Amino acid sequence: MGESAGEETTATVREPEHKGAAVKAALAANIGVAVCKVAAAVFTGSSAMLSESVHSAADCSNEIVLIIGEKASHHKTDGDHPFGLYRAKYLASFVVATLLFFVGGFYSTSEAVKKMQLVLSDPTAHTANRFELSVALAVCVISACFEGMGLHKSILEARERMQRVGVERMGFLRFWRRTKSAELASVIMEDTLALIGLAFAGIGIGVAIITGDELWDAVGGLMVGLLLMVGSVLLATKSGSLLLGETVDTETRTKIVDAVTSTPGVERLLNMQTIHMSEDDILLCVKVQTSKLDRDYDVQTVDKIENAVRTALPWYRFEIYVEPDIYRRDHDKALTGEH
């Protein structure tokens, strides 16, 4: 027995959908930053600035892929995808992590290594052009301001999304573990890496200016490339987990269990499985023992369960399937997840 998530119930409270403001803001900022970095890299020949140019170019591609994934996730589907294309956002985030981030990081790293080999093999190549590197350093500072604004926008959106599900304050690590928004996790990771990468690039360029040794600029570029590859592994782990299918968090699970077990007519919750199809869409399958083994009574109880769950968590859209059954000892293991 079940009810589609698309059907309206009096218990459902519709709230405005997120419009992906953080992704769009990041794209606009990164386009401007990428142009400045490319111009600076061409003018100065800085390895660190070249790595940062690749970084920003990858960031722009990331946002475009995430926006495409967001739009694809809302498309109507035929019978081949009975639960919709919600996971297109998770797939887009995984592509960003495994392809764009890693490829960009590998390219930046290889170019920095080439410059280091050149500098180490030719003593005359050590001499740095302090004026050109000063220009590159100025671009790093300006870019950090833009990236900081983008990260601030992402943090505000993350806070709003957490408050929407009843969480007032949350640290970065807890948000990273709990969030089911692949695109927001990608943007926050991207902006954070951008600021750290600019710090590495700025330090490398600054030391090169102070010492007059071009080698430090190459070292800065190498650190940026390695940072991108580390970030790609972290983001791939998160988006890959979402793509495979994550259950709801502990707080949400508790609210669902309370809603089901407190429903009139439910004697016992026998089994429950949940999976996030997207940040706001949940597939919920429950097996319950009702007070009467009567079809009409069970149908009424199922309707009550569905309304109770939607009332308890109105910020989610549920696809709910309820099966009345009789208690058996193996149900305890199924409910707790034991094997």
Q: What is the pLDDT of residue 318?
A: 93
pLDDT, position 274: 94
pLDDT band (50, 70, 90) for residue 129? confident
State pLDDT tens for residues 255-266: 999 999 999 888
Please state the rounded mean pLDDT for residues 141-155: 84
Q: Is residue 173 part of a domain?
A: yes
One domain for residues 153 and 47: yes
* 2 within a domain of the structure (yes/no): no
In a domain, 1, yes or no: no
What's the half-sphere exposure (Cβ side, CA atoms, 13 Å) at 35?
Answer: 6
d(CA 189, CA 85) in angstroms, rounded, equals: 24
| Same domain flag for 223 and 270 | no
Number of H helices, E strands in the chain: 11, 4
Identify residue 190 by its one-letter amino acid code.
E
* Domains in the chain, number: 2
226 and 283 in a single domain? The answer is no
Residue 310 pLDDT greater than 90, yes or no: yes
Output the 3-class SS for 33-47. Answer: HHHHHHHHHHHHCCH
Separation of alpha carbons 61 and 259, rounded Å: 43
Most confident of 17-26, 143-152, 292-301: 143-152
Considering the domain architecture, whether residues 189 and 83 belong to the same structural domain is answered as yes
Specify the pLDDT at position 6.
40
Residue 4 pLDDT = 42
222 in a domain, yes or no? yes
- pLDDT category at 285 given cuts 50, 70, 90 is very high
Are residues 91 and 153 located together in one domain of the fold? yes
State which of 187, 219, 244 marks the end of a domain.
244
Query: Which structural domain, as residue segments, surrounds residue 324?
Result: 250-336
Q: Indicate which CATH number applies to the domain containing 262.
A: 3.30.70.1350
Residue 239 shares a structural domain with residue 302: no
Q: Are residues 73 and 119 in the same domain?
A: yes
Residue 26 and residue 140 in one domain: yes
Residue 308: pLDDT band by 50, 70, 90 thresholds? very high
Question: Is 58 a member of any domain?
Answer: yes
Q: Return mean pLDDT, the chain.
A: 80
More confident residue, 58 or 204: 204
* CATH number of the domain to which 184 belongs: 1.20.1510
Looking at the fold, whether 171 and 300 belong to one and the same domain comes out as no
pLDDT of residue 21: 66
Is 191 in the same domain as 67? Answer: yes
Mean pLDDT of 171-178: 78
The domain boundary residue, chosen from 223, 244, 265 = 244
In a domain, 266, yes or no: yes
Residue 145 has pLDDT above 90, yes or no: no
- pLDDT tens, 54-108? 777 777 777 787 777 777 777 766 667 777 777 888 888 888 777 767 777 887 8
- Side-chain-side CA neighbours of 130 within 13 Å: the count stands at 5
Buried residues in 306-319 as b, exposed as e (16+ CB within 10 A): bbbbbebbeebbbb
pTM: 0.74
Interacting residues of 105 by C-beta distance below 8 A, sequence separation 6+:
225, 226, 227, 228, 229, 230, 231, 232
**pLDDT-derived band of residue 334, with 50, 70 and 90 as boundaries?**
low
pLDDT at 58: 74
pLDDT of res. 255:
93
pLDDT of residue 16: 42
Domain boundary among the residues 209, 244, 279 is at 244
Output the six-digit token pair for 19: 């419009």
Q: What value does the mean pLDDT take over residues 138-144?
A: 87
pLDDT of 18 reads 46
The more confident residue out of 6 and 103 is 103
DSSP-assigned letters across all residues of 78-129? -TTSTT-STTHHHHHHHHIIIIIIHHHHHHHHHHHHHHHHHHHH-GGGGB--
Do 162 and 72 belong together in one domain?
A: yes
Shared domain check, 296 and 204: no
> 138 vs 56, which has greater pLDDT?
138
pLDDT exceeds cutoff 50 at 270: yes
More confident residue, 124 or 331: 124
